[in-house]
Chains A and B, each alone.
Chain A
Amino acid sequence: MDFVSILKIAWRALARNKMRSILTMLGIIIGVGAVIAMVGLGQGAQQQVQQQIASMGTNLIFVGAGSMNRGGMHIGWGATKTLVYGDAVAITRECPSVAAAAPIDMTQKQIVFSGDNWYTTINGTEPQYFDVRSWPLAEGAPFSQADVESAANVAVIGETVRKNLFGAVDPLGQTIRIAQLPFKVVGVLVQKGQSAAMGNDQDDNIYIPITTLQKKINGNTWLRMIMVSAKTKEDSYAAQQQITSLLRDRHRIRAGTDDDFFVRNLADVAEVADQAGAVMTMLLASIAGVSLIVGGIGIMNIMLVSVTERTREIGIRMAIGATEEDVQSQFLIEAVVLSCMGGAIGILFGIGSALILTNVLNWRVSISIAAIVTAVVFSMAIGIFFGFYPARKAARLDPIEALRYE
């Protein structure tokens, strides 16, 4: 029999029992929908992380004090006191792939402005920091090198600090108190949002000259971190190597001994985050995929019932000339129509749920064509796989017995 006729017959047979067909499809609909939504969530999260990492600045290399465990975990960050200001200067001067390096130290303090206070991170650094981070200012200007040399009490604040401390008031020129010391606000940074690499709110920070921080507030002489920007993205790995060998040299670390610092390339961080994201997406999809299997079992169950119910009909068809292949294809196609329709509706259902999640929970969702195509192929495969046994059973019926069936 030609395909179109078989398709029509299959459609009729399914339409005969609309409720039953819909209920059977439900398993597939939910299964496919869940997979699409989960993959959408996973990929959306991945994209979000990538964007956040990109927002941190390009060609970024972190040089941190303390050793680092393999795998990117910052264990012992800040544990050593061997990273010094001279290192930052040396990096800028002696590493050809480096564009700029900014020394960083930090502490956490309460800051006060006219009755309001806010507990935040005070970072000490130099003006080139804002270039290294590719971080423009929304208002005012960064403090200058002269401010650094004179340990001036000036501050550049992040958007979150501004919102919580100043509200509608313009912060420029205002005086805030940090550790009881008065500071003048000279600049407000553009909003950058959450940092996926560091796991904190980038806008919840204040930047003051490093000299001011270390001489007047925390009394340290060593650095927590040096943030370096490579000349180009391609240079970043070379820069990483140059910095490592330079610091090992400066810190007189013998061959075979671990570094007392770590050098982290932002590109690596992005890579790790991406892989983690991919694993999570796969995990979510697999769990959702289990429900697809259950849906397939539902199809097999219903098809078996259908075959038994239509034993007489199968006998008649065989008596008037249907071959085993004819009968088998008829039932197989019925199963495939069920699963494909369920798949199509499931895709719509999945996209719909994903959109709802985006709006209600503010989670980013990304639906890819690849996911949809995979879902379609999978639905078809489920239909064929789970429909095969019932179809075979139908084809193997003995016509004489079948005709006698009540």
Chain B
Amino acid sequence: MATTVQTDAADLKANSSDAVIRVEEVHKYYDLGEQKVHALRGVSVSISRGEFVAIMGASGSGKSTFMNILGCLDKPTQGHYILDGTDVSELTKRDLAAIRNRRIGFVFQGFNLLSRTTALENVELPTMYSRVNRQERERRAKDSLELVGLGNRLDHFPSQLSGGQQQRVAIARALVNQPSILLADEPTGNLDSRTSVEIMQIFQELNDKGLTIVLVTHEHDIAQYAKRNIIFRDGKIRRDELVQNRPVASEMLKTLPTLED
């Protein structure tokens, strides 16, 4: 039996019809030979359009498994995951790939850019898998890069960019096909404190414009920049609460020392 603790605000959202993500009693088992790992033990949650959610939890809490399912990289063993009105638990691999291409944007901890291609081409990559013609592809990619403030670095290779810039390219790539949600797995894990806040600023700006963002982090400070925190423990949601006294990244940046100091 689930013993999740939910606040009133979260209850309200569960009933909202504007849910981009609806997870219903999802279980995930992994078969490791003799052992069966019960990674998710009945998770139910609802995330509405325009929300900014941070998911936290220790290793083995199930948060990574949950993210993989949200990102359609994996299917739940039991239960349903409804994304933007579509129950993805029943879809074929091909359909899931299409959803990952068009409805979901990924940002990873290690940036995961292709090293021997330029920033522009990296951002174009999702459009190449969605049958967009050449001019449209370039236009969208350029717009995306503008959005993250890298309009003047189109021809740079990842090796020529700093960590923060690389992550911005990754965010631009995630946005190029105008997805419903942006999923970020420890996006600031490989960045220094100031750059981390710069990235959170971008996320906050995108969220202010209406983009739904779900990110996973183990850093409490970073989780505060989101509007809602969901904490996992032992395969279940333990806490689901709105953030109080949420910091604004752009303000924080003014107080933080720069790298030169």
Which residues of A approach B to under 8 Å, CB–CB? 1-2, 5, 12, 16, 312-313, 315-326, 399-400, 403
Contacts and interface: CB of A to CB of B under 8 A. Distances in A.
A222 B74 CA distance: 97
B52 interface: no
A1 B112 contact: no
Interface stretch (B42-50, B101-109, B205-213, B230-238): B101-109
Contacts of A318: 73, 97, 100
B67 to A, nearest CB: 10
B173 interface: yes
A322 B129 contact: yes
Given A319-B71, A326-B97, 19 more contacts: A1-B131, A5-B128, A12-B117, A16-B116, A313-B114, A318-B73, A318-B97, A319-B73, A319-B112, A320-B129, A321-B177, A322-B129, A323-B97, A323-B129, A324-B93, A324-B94, A400-B73, A400-B74, A403-B112
A333 to B, nearest CB: 14
A2 B74 CA distance: 27
Contacts of A400: 68, 73-74
B102 A321 contact: yes
B83 interface: no
A321 B98 contact: yes
A76 B94 CA distance: 77
B125 A320 contact: yes
A323 B93 contact: yes
A320 B173 contact: yes
Rank and list the top 5 A-B pairs by shortest CB-CB distance, nearest first.
A321-B101, A323-B97, A321-B129, A320-B126, A321-B100
Contacts of A319: 71, 73, 100, 106, 112
Interface residues of B, number: 25
30 contacts: A1-B129, A1-B131, A5-B128, A12-B116, A312-B112, A315-B112, A316-B112, A317-B129, A318-B97, A319-B73, A319-B100, A320-B100, A320-B101, A320-B125, A320-B126, A320-B173, A321-B102, A321-B126, A321-B129, A322-B101, A323-B94, A323-B97, A323-B129, A324-B94, A326-B129, A399-B73, A400-B73, A400-B74, A403-B108, A403-B112
A216 B221 CA distance: 125
Contacts, number: 59
Nearest to A16: B116
Contacts of B100: 318-321
Interface string B123-134: 001101111000
Contacts of B116: 12, 16
Contacts of B71: 319
Nearest to B185: A403
A320 B174 CA distance: 8
A2 B131 contact: yes
B77 to A, nearest CB: 15
Contacts of B108: 403
Contacts of A313: 114
A2 B136 CA distance: 15
Contacts of A317: 125, 129
A318 B108 CA distance: 14
Contacts of B112: 312, 315-316, 319, 403
A321 to B, nearest CB: 2
Contacts of B128: 1, 5
A317 B129 CA distance: 9
B132 to A, nearest CB: 10
B114 A322 contact: no
B142 to A, nearest CB: 18
Contacts of A312: 112
Nearest to A318: B97
A11 to B, nearest CB: 12
Nearest to A313: B114
A341 B73 CA distance: 37
A122 B44 CA distance: 110
A331 to B, nearest CB: 15
A12 B115 CA distance: 12
B97 A322 contact: yes
A2 B94 CA distance: 17
Contacts of B125: 317, 320
Interface in B169-186: 173, 177
The interface centre, meaning the residue of B93, B100, B108, B177 with most chain A CB atoms within 10 A of its CB, is: B100
A403 B73 CA distance: 11
Nearest to A322: B129
A393 to B, nearest CB: 16
A321 B97 contact: yes
Given A321-B98, A400-B73, A403-B108, A316 B131 contact: no
A5 B134 CA distance: 10
B168 to A, nearest CB: 16
Contacts of B73: 318-319, 399-400
Nearest to B94: A323
A322 B100 CA distance: 9
A236 to B, nearest CB: 68
B130 to A, nearest CB: 7
Interface string B14-56: 0000000000000000000000000000000000000000000
Nearest to B177: A321
Given A16-B116, A403-B112, A320 B93 contact: no
